[in-house]
Amino acid sequence: MSYTIYLSGEIHTNWRQQIKQGILDNDLDIEVLEPITDHDSSDHVGINILGPEENNFWKDHKAAKINALRTNSYISRSDIVIIRFGDKYKQWNAAFDAGIAFGLGVPTIIMHDESLTHPLKEVDANAYAVTETPAQVIEILKYIS
């Protein structure tokens, strides 16, 4: 039986690629959804399409709303949301996605290094699995498929 998963969070390592490769290698019937992971494109999409803003707040606002069209739609049609937290940047959008998934009743799998356990305790506590590597996520997906 197939699953749809959404890969949220950290965009600076190739963890998404590893999960997609693992799905291919194991021939799993899983559809993978992702956000726009091109940082620059994502930051400027609002002014690129809808016109310039003098105030950075509105520049960010317009970009975030367009990205939310994709993000919220993908989270709500997923069976599982997988969210990786890295060791850099604030990544509030990743925690925000975890909250949206919880509010909508979509299960999450969280991925992060052990060093982030304490600040992520609320996010982890509502997850169905807390992993450290893409390989573990693939093992879970294999097991439940």
CB of 86 to its own copies, least distance (A): 12
Q: By CB under 8 A, tell whether 50 contacts its own copies.
A: yes
Q: Which is nearer to its own copies, 1 or 13 (CB)?
A: 1
Residues for the chain: how many in total?
145
Under the binding rule (CB under 8 A), the answer on residue 105 touching its own copies is yes
One residue of 16, 45, 84, 134 binding its own copies per CB under 8 A: 45
User: Backbone phi, then psi, for 14, in 5-degree steps?
Assistant: -95, 30
Q: Binder to its own copies among 11, 23, 30, 100 (CB under 8 A)?
A: 100
Beta partners for residue 9, in sequence order: 84
Interactions with its own copies, residue window 59-78 (CB under 8 A): 60-74
* Smallest separation (angstroms) from its own copies to the CB of 92: 4
Does position 15 bind its own copies by CB under 8 A?
no
User: 17, 26, 37, 117: which one contacts its own copies (CB under 8 A)?
Assistant: 117
At its nearest, how many Å lie between its own copies and the CB of residue 14? 21
96 binding its own copies? (CB under 8 A): yes
